[in-house]
Structure 1
Amino acid sequence: MAKAKAESSFAATLVQPRVFKPNQGRIVRQVTFAVVAGVFVIGAWRLHATILSDYASGVRWGVPTVVAVVGLWLAFALVNWPTFANFLISVEAEMDKVSWASLDYLKRATAVVLVTMLVLGAYLFFCDIFWQQLFGFIGFLDMSAPGS
Structure 2
Amino acid sequence: MQLYIYKRGQGYHTRLWTSLACFALACWGCYRLSEMLTMTGNPWIEYMVPAAVLAGLSWLIYSVQNKPNFADFLIESEGELKKVSWSSRAQIIASTMIVISVVVIISLLLGAVDIGFRSMFEYVFKIYS
Global fold match (TM > 0.5): yes
> Which contiguous aligned blocks of 4+ residues in structure 1 show a shift greater than 3 angstroms?
none
Unaligned runs of 5+ in 1: 1-14, 141-148
Q: 1:90 aligns with which of 76, 88, 92?
A: 76
Superposition map of 1:1-148 within 5 A: 15-49=1-35, 51-55=36-40, 56-139=42-125
Over the aligned positions, Cα root-mean-square deviation in angstroms equals: 1.6
TM-score scaled by length of structure 2: 0.86
Identical columns (%): 28
CA contact (8 A) 1:78 1:84 kept: yes
2:26 alignment partner AA: F
1:79, CA displacement in angstroms? 1.3
User: TM-score, normalised on structure 1?
Assistant: 0.76
The whole-number CA distance in structure 2 between the counterparts of 1:26 and 1:101 is 24
Higher helix share: 2
5+ residue gaps, structure 2, are none
Say if 1:25 and 1:93, in contact at 8 Å, map to a contact too.
Answer: yes
**Whole-Å Cα distance in 2 between the matches of residues 116 and 53 of structure 1?**
54
